[in-house]
Amino acid sequence: MHFTITTSPGLESLVKSECERLQFEHIKTTDQSVRCEWNIDDMYRLNIHLRTANRVYIELSKGQVEDFDTLFSMVSKINWREYLPKNHPIIVNATSVRSILTHTPSIQKIGKKALVETLLQNTHNSILTEDEALPQIHILILIVDNIASILLDTSWEALHKRGYRKEQWEAPLKETLAAAIVMLTRWKYSEPFYDPFCWSGTIAIEAAMIARNIAPGLFRNFACEYFPFHEEETMEKIRDEAEKKIFPSGKYQIIASDKDEQVLEFAERNARRAWVISDITFRRQDFFELANKMPEQTDGITLVSNPPYGLRLNQDDIGEIHEMLAKVLQFPHMHGWIITAYENFGDMAPKTIFKERKLYNGSELCRFWHKK
């Protein structure tokens, strides 16, 4: 059997690289997903260690479907008692791409009906008991080019929910995307790392967690802990192994600044919950003051940020910030990377120096600009 690991558009290669570092083999990459073989140990390792993936699914069945009868039969053949915990609410979701079956509510309805009928076979019950007080178990029916995959979500909440970000500013950058950006920079941990618009501190926190090798899922729970085949001893062993591989604190120059004091308070509390408060220097500082003082000889600094766009500032201020960023990032030996939805930045960034890559923060298209 296989895992299907979902990811945001543009991050498939990073997820594949993460799987390779975890010593997985026979990895196949498709649009917004990565597929690999599975066993119980791997289910825990992927959920605990993956930084850039959305969810980890067990693939229960895969085959061609072009009508609802075939889909119903496919779902009915799965031994659901082997995979689903008793009395937990079961949510069936569906996605269809370039396929004959396009109406996702009908796909969900047929899938849930087939699942329930299978669970009620050889029982005296006519209604499936679902206790709303228990955590939900999610099934995804993914149909692409008329090939359906019946997927069991092992992650529960999406993997970007590490657990440390209890407080956040408006329109936060997802933790998985922040980690992806840091990984794409190939930041050398011995060099200073700077985020001048730290918001909830997400980029700096993810940078510190990567530098210290803190597994992102180390302190949260997963749906697989409720499965009938869950092995608590195995999972605790993998958690313990991950915790023992954390590098010592205090060896990194990570600076996160913002001119808003409340934002900095949020960011500091988030960093404390992520175990990296001693690895980040938080400063109340206006970006323009910093930029005007920054000499063009600045050497060996990695600047990574998600500058404000349309929330705390007006359009003129946003334009000035991006114009100054374009100037600062052109300083010799400045390693610069920003992710922004501000479309006019492309007019400020010389194409001979900057390269653009499209990424998504949730459903919002952003542009990731970096020096060539």
Arithmetic mean of pLDDT, 152-168: 91
Same domain as 198, residue 344: yes
**Structure-block tokens of residue 309:** 């766009």
> So what's the pLDDT on residue 169?
61
Same domain as 44, residue 11: yes
Domain harbouring 285, CATH code: 3.40.50.150
User: Rounded to two decimals, what is the model's pTM?
Assistant: 0.93
Arithmetic mean of pLDDT, 173-177: 94
Same domain as 146, residue 68: yes
Our count of domains for the chain comes to 2
What would the pLDDT profile of 293-316 be if each residue is shown by its tens digit?
A: 776 656 688 999 999 876 556 666
Arithmetic mean of pLDDT, 183-212: 94
Between CA 51 and CA 14 the distance in angstroms is 9
Same domain as 121, residue 258: no
> So what's the pLDDT on residue 171?
60
- pLDDT > 90: percent of the chain: 71
Same domain as 252, residue 127: no
HSE-CB of 271 using CA atoms within 13 angstroms: 27
What would the pLDDT profile of 125-141 be if each residue is shown by its tens digit?
A: 788 999 999 999 999 99
**Structure-block tokens of residue 116:** 């329930």
Domain harbouring 22, CATH code: 3.30.2130.30
Arithmetic mean of pLDDT, 75-86: 96
Same domain as 202, residue 104: no
Arithmetic mean of pLDDT, 84-109: 96
Is residue 164 domain-resident? Answer: no
Is residue 226 domain-resident? Answer: no
pLDDT-derived band at 82 (thresholds 50, 70, 90) equals: very high
Is residue 218 domain-resident? Answer: no
What would the pLDDT profile of 37-48 be if each residue is shown by its tens digit?
A: 888 999 999 999
Is residue 96 domain-resident? Answer: yes
> So what's the pLDDT on residue 170?
62
Boundaries of domain holding 19: 2-153
Same domain as 77, residue 206: no
What would the pLDDT profile of 8-25 be if each residue is shown by its tens digit?
A: 999 999 999 999 999 998
Same domain as 270, residue 146: no
Same domain as 29, residue 104: yes
> So what's the pLDDT on residue 292?
79
HSE-CB of 242 using CA atoms within 13 angstroms: 22
SS3 category, 29: strand
What is the pairing mode between strands 147-153 and 137-144? antiparallel
Burial classification of residue 305, based on how many CB atoms lie within 10 Å of its CB (0-12 exposed, 13-18 middle, 19 or more buried): buried
Is residue 181 domain-resident? Answer: yes
Same domain as 189, residue 49: no
Lowest mean pLDDT of 51-65, 105-119, 254-268, name the range. 254-268
Is residue 287 domain-resident? Answer: yes
Same domain as 181, residue 148: no
Arithmetic mean of pLDDT, 278-300: 82
- pLDDT > 70: percent of the chain: 95
pLDDT-derived band at 363 (thresholds 50, 70, 90) equals: confident
Is residue 252 domain-resident? Answer: yes
Same domain as 189, residue 55: no
**Top-ranked range on mean pLDDT: pick from 170-179, 233-242, 342-351, 352-361:** 233-242
Arithmetic mean of pLDDT, 334-356: 88
Is residue 91 domain-resident? Answer: yes
Arithmetic mean of pLDDT, 42-64: 97
Distances (CA, A) of 88 to 80, 115, 130, 188: 13, 13, 5, 46
Q: Is the pLDDT of residue 190 over 60?
A: yes
Quickly count: other Cβ atoms within 10 Å of residue 204's Cβ.
31
Between CA 334 and CA 296 the distance in angstroms is 9
